[in-house]
Structure 1
Amino acid sequence: MPGVPSNKACERCKKRHLKCDETRPKCQRCTNAGVECPGYVQTRKFIDQGASVRRRYAPYQDSHPKSHLLRDAETTGEHPNLNQSGGQQIAGSGQPSTILSPADWRSSESNQPDTHSPTQSRTNSIKFPRINAVNLMTNTPTETVSTDMTGLEQPRSVSSRSAGHTPPNMSNATSPLHQGIAHGFRARPPSSNTGTGSPSQPSERDEFQDIFSELMTGTEHEIAFLIRHFSENLGPWLDISDSTRFFQVYVPIRAINDPFLKYAIAALAAKHLGRMKGIKSPVGGGMFTSPATMEMYPNATQVDWFLKATNYYYLATSSMNSSVSEAYTSVSSSAILESPIQIASRWLTLQSRNSSFLVEEPVANTFWKKTENILAASAIMIMCKIIDEPGENWQSHLSGIRPLFDSLLQLRGSASHALHPFPQGIRAAFWNFARLDYLGSYINRCPTLFDQGNLSLWRAAGISIDDSGNLSLNPEVTVDKTLSQEDLAANSLTWLVAKVINFLAESKKSQWEQLTGHSSSDPPSPSPATAGSTPYPSTFAWLKLSFDFQSWFERLPETFRPCLQLDHPKDISKLPEVIYLSFPEIYYSLTSCAATMQQYHFGRLALSLNRPPDAVSGPSTAFDRLQGYRELMKETDYRCREICGIALGRPQSAARVYAIPLLFAVGQCLENPEERQIVLDLLRGIEADLGWETGTRIQKLQASWDQR
């Protein structure tokens, strides 16, 4: 908590070792000497000695009435009774004092000499040492980072409401762990300036805003701010193929009664704000009307959002562990380090020992609703993990999803709903896992975790597949009547693309066996997802996949047609020169359709580049092979143009976040330097706009291009 000033003399008297009369705003000794008084600098210390210190200094509020404190709380959007948290009073030896109100700060700043500019008073840095704690979110080593206290957010007033809110920049700051792991911090006193001008020191307002934002961890305002940020910006990522918007609408409502859902949402929102340096992109905001209080956060760009994300992830894991087992009185460290998939599997294992309760409708509904909430929290926490990690690590966070959903399928079959699909929340979580599964599998060139041959599982997830593996896009014949045509088409394509990824994994294994001379029984052993399949991909399997893709495309509803397309867009940044871009711009009315069509062209591109040789019907002459290569180049160029064209149309963020592996695949096919630069700019734009890590993909592309 803040302490009293360590020295009240002005800077000139301190340097000359003279007794200062401490007259404000200028001391009388400097005035009599005919020199400009440099002013007073208050060096404060930050301590945390528990409730005893807060009780000791709590009564000192006589110099500022409560009306000032209430006005300050309304200005910052927080509760007025902050003295309960121990962060309001200024503690230390000597005469007690209180935090100044914004009006007092403005008056004190106006009384300062002209040499004390507001910019100079905010340029000093405060270093916060990071507490040594288990970092559950990132692999960043503990260190001390300097925080530049610039870009202070001004208090909310009538003029600022009319002008709108301009988010300032943020510096990557580290601050202590307040909730869940540790609490308390100490700031290094700023060093005085020995130059001729006035010393550059952080103002009291800067210091208070920084302390205030730290004390807001877990408060009602911060939770509301993060949950709204999730619902507006991040929920659509998880609802890309769910028109009912389970994550965007239902999950925040269920978070009211389920703490692990609330903390999981807060963890992902805080992690995203950390990646975005504390800046929120406007969602449907007006240009004149002011934002709501829950849309703003004091000093947002100076907050260590990564630390808050770690706190909330810890709380989400602890709450989920306590929820799945009533026997837990305190959560052990080993249980906290479990992945959310492992926690959900343990919950289902406990429930599967006695599944007779699923026959009773009220009890069964309670069980399935809790299962929905646990899987929703797991999907959110996994996205919180992978948002800043390279694609090679995505699949490691999904380990265990196959036995988890096998257990769910078994529990569903033991109840009276054997022929019914999974409930809404389980389906929404399943398709998020399935999408990340095949994208991570493609990057690692390995089989998917989900078994494509388990047709009962995919039917329970909502798509219609007959026993021969043929898809149907007619909502009337599907098991789930609530799915829209767009959702059914998008989820069916996910199943098809996952089959292509397994086909590529088998092709890679076949090439490895041919190069090393190992038989199919030697390592690498077939994965569970492909056990029992043909060890060497055949032309028949390739043709079957190509036929399934074409059939899927021909049965699409009208909404999958682009409503806008510029085949030869002009580069208006280089006017008056007329320069045309290398790719078209394609725009879809529905975000899910844009993302689905990108994945469709990606699947066709992967199939075209990995057609197995056929000794019987393959080309027999060199000219035939040359013609085949030309046809392949035309197909590759068309698919790459479509994928990049949809990306250049700048769809909503829900479509862009899943395009990283797709653009990486396109970049490996391009030869033109201008086209390569467009792909790099698209990848950099995803990281800059949405916070997803793309640097690894860019480095790999540049390395592969340098080798050619």
Structure 2
Amino acid sequence: MPGVPSNKSCERCKKRHLKCDEARPQCQRCVAAGVECPGYVQTRKFIDQGASVRRRYAPYQESSTASSDARNTLRSHAAKPSSPAPEQEPQAAAVEQEQVQSQPHWPEPPRNVQPQPAVRSAVPAWNGNPLTIPFPGQPPSSHSSRSVSRHGGYEEITGPGSVHQPSSAASPSQSEEREEFRDIFSELMTGTEHEMSYLVRYYSDYLASWLDISDTGNFFSAYVPVRAIDEEFSRNAIAALAAKHLAKMKGMTAANNTGMFTSPPTMETYPNASHVDWSLKAANYYYLAVSQMNTAISDYGSVSTSAVLESPIAIVNQWLSLQTSEMERAVDKTFDDATCKKAENLLATSAILTLYKILDEPGENWQSYLTGIKPAFSQILTLFNRNDGSSPSFSTGITAVFWNFARLDYLASYYNRLPTHLDPKDLAVWRAAGLSLDDQGNAAPHETMPSGHLFSREDMATNVLTRLLNKLTNFLAAAKRSQLEHWAGGPSESPTAASANPPSPSMQPTTATWLKLSFEFQSWVERIPETFRPCLRLERPKPFTPDAPPMPFPEIFYSLTACASAMQQYHFGRLALSLNRPVDEVSGPSTGFDRLQGYRELTKEVDYRCREICGVALGRPRGAARVQMITLLYAAGQCLEKPEERQIVADLLRGIEADLGWSTASQVQRLKR
């Protein structure tokens, strides 16, 4: 019939998911049931054809524009009258309905946004009232064991059917329409108050502790989310990191905050989180954060595309250069509180966005994202210089960011055996970051608290160890360079070493340097507080399975997460030292028996350090410590020979990726090779 769409069921058959013969003017199924056929209505589609089209042509679309367009489309459809509800099914059609129930069928996307009473979810409307939207592709609640519980303005779908999979009975067009509807619904949430609240809460609950591992002041957990209220680039950086982590976790969240008998608040729930394209949201939020950082340091209202592609640390360096120039021209040479606070916010944002970048990168690529941290803190040191001649000191926020970069610096440099970006011999920078160092660079006892810093004894000990590990990594880089020069017969320069620090004479791979580093590690462990002792230790844990052999490694647990991470890093440092002792031509082993004895002692030392590293990992400390141990487990795995020990290390690395979203596949593959 002209003007009537073909292959479309009548309204009653569609609602009951029955096959319609499409007879005109009334279908024979309605006539046989003794009810009036409601007729045929052409399916309305959104004018916006879905996120897939926009993603293809504008991957970095402004969230506000996308949200407003889709929002207006949704409102226009919500304002249209819905089709009349069909009458109740007579007794004669009961057999038909039982047949349909025995073969579940996924319905088509809804023609309008009229709420369905069986299964539904909601998003907050922009007029303050919740707007309820039925999700397409969900079978009726009578065919599943799902339950619906209301939390605030939302209905949470729980049970086996809460994660929806397309049925084989659905046609390709139906599946495509369902995906488009979900994409539109997901984009409706982008930038909304609820989504931003959800992502900031997710960051605070799961991710901020990674950055506060050696900061009892919890700058990234306590201060950064509060300052994000006024700083858009900080808020979008938090959202970008949280969304990317959700993409790695496929929308699943850990249950550490869920009560046994209480429901989560609305800001902890997100409708159909497993179907959301979190990767796209993360890329959009990252784009917004970087562009807003550029806008914040620029005198112009907009920035070019090339400026947006700069690294966050490069943007911070540009702003610091402007501040240095202005301070040179100003009469008052002091760094005022407002400028200091903005420096903290920009640096914290750069740290969050750097973590965003390396979250799914192999370890050998991490160092490239840290280029620029040395000039950044050198400029900050210049800005913090006081006219009274006293030593400059970083603020609390800048100090917290510094130690995050310093810790990541040595972990990233280890893979490629390149010098760290931060020079351990630049004593002024390390003193400004809170360390008490003499003129030779030796650290004072941990009990000595620097003035102006709210460090605990555990923080101080951990930060001293971080600088010591930076010195060790530079020693390893110098050893590798010396070996390459020996093979090549002359000086060699790594192509990427030019951007790092040139090695200092004291870091040459000599026996004297090696002994000095060994003495500093031993001095560190002898001065640590008692909280660095493990409170639990199972030497030979045995699984609760029949005939299972004991584990080859112990399980070690520390009360404080920072102490667990620090002790694991300490054993990593001693392991690297024992494996990289230079050959002493004067006092070295002279006979075969001496060399054999040296090999045996080395083997015992390596086995002990690997056992301790794996033991802390098997104790499964909190996520803040587990994300720091990827490099350490990789180093220990290179030293193990027994298949069961190697399998444990591989499982530990895979567990970090499964539980915490950090990519460890490259480390596992390199260990297998």
TM range (shorter): 0.7 to 0.9
Gaps of at least 5 residues in structure 1 are 51-80, 102-109, 127-146, 174-189, 704-708
- Matching residue of 2:373: 401
Deviation per CA, 1:460-518, whole angstroms, max 9, x where unpaired? 11111111121123343534441100111111111001111110011111111111111
- Matching residue of 1:517: 489
The verdict on how the C-alpha distance between 1:470 and 1:192 changes in structure 2, with shifts beyond 3 A counting, is closer
- Matching residue of 2:254: 281
CA distance in 1 between counterparts of 2:109 and 2:667 reads 34
Of residues 448, 451, 456 in structure 1, which corresponds to 2:420?
448
CA distance in 1 between counterparts of 2:23 and 2:187 reads 38
- Matching residue of 1:220: 193
- Matching residue of 2:625: 655
Residue type of the partner of 1:625? R
Equivalent residues of 1:619, 1:625 under 8 A apart = yes
- Matching residue of 1:105: none
Secondary structure of 2:646's partner?
helix
Of residues 30, 33, 36 in structure 2, which corresponds to 1:31?
33
Of residues 280, 291, 294 in structure 1, which corresponds to 2:264?
291
The 5-angstrom pairing of residues 576-595 of structure 1 reads 576-595=546-565
- Matching residue of 1:686: 656
CA distance in 2 between counterparts of 1:289 and 1:13 reads 40
CA distance in 1 between counterparts of 2:226 and 2:292 reads 17
- Matching residue of 1:113: 97
Residue type of the partner of 1:601? H
The verdict on how the C-alpha distance between 1:154 and 1:210 changes in structure 2, with shifts beyond 3 A counting, is farther
- Matching residue of 1:45: 45
Secondary structure of 2:74's partner?
coil
CA distance in 1 between counterparts of 2:18 and 2:257 reads 55
CA distance in 2 between counterparts of 1:90 and 1:666 reads 61
- The answer on 1:246 being equivalent to 2:219 is yes
- The answer on 1:85 being equivalent to 2:71 is yes
CA distance in 2 between counterparts of 1:372 and 1:524 reads 29
Secondary structure of 2:210's partner?
helix
CA distance in 2 between counterparts of 1:626 and 1:352 reads 59
| TM-score of the aligned structures, taking structure 2 as reference length | 0.81
Secondary structure of 1:482's partner?
coil
- The answer on 1:638 being equivalent to 2:640 is no
CA distance in 1 between counterparts of 2:495 and 2:18 reads 80
Residue type of the partner of 2:642? N
- Matching residue of 1:373: 345
**In angstroms, what is the RMSD of aligned CA positions?**
4.2
Deviation at 1:97, TM superposition (A): 3.9
- Matching residue of 1:267: 240
Equivalent residues of 2:258, 2:264 under 8 A apart = yes
Residue type of the partner of 1:86? N
Deviation per CA, 1:646-682, whole angstroms, max 9, x where unpaired? 0000000000001111111111000000000000110
Deviation at 1:638, TM superposition (A): 0.4
Equivalent residues of 1:420, 1:479 under 8 A apart = no
Of residues 18, 25, 30 in structure 1, which corresponds to 2:23?
18
Deviation at 1:246, TM superposition (A): 0.3
CA distance in 1 between counterparts of 2:568 and 2:615 reads 9
Deviation at 1:393, TM superposition (A): 1.3
Secondary structure of 1:465's partner?
coil
The 5-angstrom pairing of residues 62-141 of structure 1 reads 85-89=71-75, 91=77, 96-97=80-81, 113-116=97-100, 120-122=104-106
Secondary structure of 1:46's partner?
coil
Of residues 584, 587, 607 in structure 1, which corresponds to 2:577?
607
- Matching residue of 1:156: 149
CA distance in 1 between counterparts of 2:84 and 2:249 reads 31
Residue type of the partner of 1:351? Q
Secondary structure of 1:679's partner?
helix
Deviation at 1:283, TM superposition (A): 2.9
CA distance in 2 between counterparts of 1:687 and 1:172 reads 25
Residue type of the partner of 2:277? D
Secondary structure of 2:537's partner?
strand
CA distance in 2 between counterparts of 1:582 and 1:359 reads 67
CA distance in 2 between counterparts of 1:358 and 1:285 reads 54
Of residues 431, 440, 461 in structure 1, which corresponds to 2:433?
461
Equivalent residues of 1:5, 1:43 under 8 A apart = no
Of residues 272, 285, 296 in structure 2, which corresponds to 1:323?
296
Equivalent residues of 1:171, 1:301 under 8 A apart = no
Deviates more, 1:542-551 or 1:111-120: 111-120
The verdict on how the C-alpha distance between 1:648 and 1:123 changes in structure 2, with shifts beyond 3 A counting, is farther
Equivalent residues of 1:667, 1:701 under 8 A apart = yes
Deviation per CA, 1:289-324, whole angstroms, max 9, x where unpaired? 000000000111100000000110011011111111
- Matching residue of 2:666: 696
Gaps of at least 5 residues in structure 2 are 51-66, 86-93, 111-134
Deviation at 1:154, TM superposition (A): 6.5
Equivalent residues of 2:474, 2:507 under 8 A apart = no
Secondary structure of 1:608's partner?
helix
Equivalent residues of 1:167, 1:280 under 8 A apart = no
Deviation at 1:32, TM superposition (A): 7.1
- The answer on 1:471 being equivalent to 2:443 is yes
CA distance in 2 between counterparts of 1:379 and 1:250 reads 14
Residue type of the partner of 2:71? S
Deviation per CA, 1:20-56, whole angstroms, max 9, x where unpaired? 536xxx94145379xxx9x999865333299xxxxxx
- Matching residue of 2:529: 557
Of residues 457, 466, 476 in structure 2, which corresponds to 1:504?
476
The verdict on how the C-alpha distance between 1:479 and 1:618 changes in structure 2, with shifts beyond 3 A counting, is farther
The verdict on how the C-alpha distance between 1:489 and 1:421 changes in structure 2, with shifts beyond 3 A counting, is same
Deviation at 1:444, TM superposition (A): 1.4
- The answer on 1:626 being equivalent to 2:592 is no
> How many residue pairs get matched?
611
The verdict on how the C-alpha distance between 1:218 and 1:471 changes in structure 2, with shifts beyond 3 A counting, is same
CA distance in 2 between counterparts of 1:5 and 1:253 reads 55
Secondary structure of 1:586's partner?
strand
Of residues 403, 408, 427 in structure 2, which corresponds to 1:431?
403
The verdict on how the C-alpha distance between 1:548 and 1:577 changes in structure 2, with shifts beyond 3 A counting, is same
| TM-score of the aligned structures, taking structure 1 as reference length | 0.77
- Matching residue of 2:638: 668
Equivalent residues of 2:105, 2:170 under 8 A apart = no
* % identity of equivalent residues: 52
- Matching residue of 1:140: none
- Matching residue of 1:68: none
Deviation per CA, 1:380-420, whole angstroms, max 9, x where unpaired? 00101110111111111111111111111111115668524
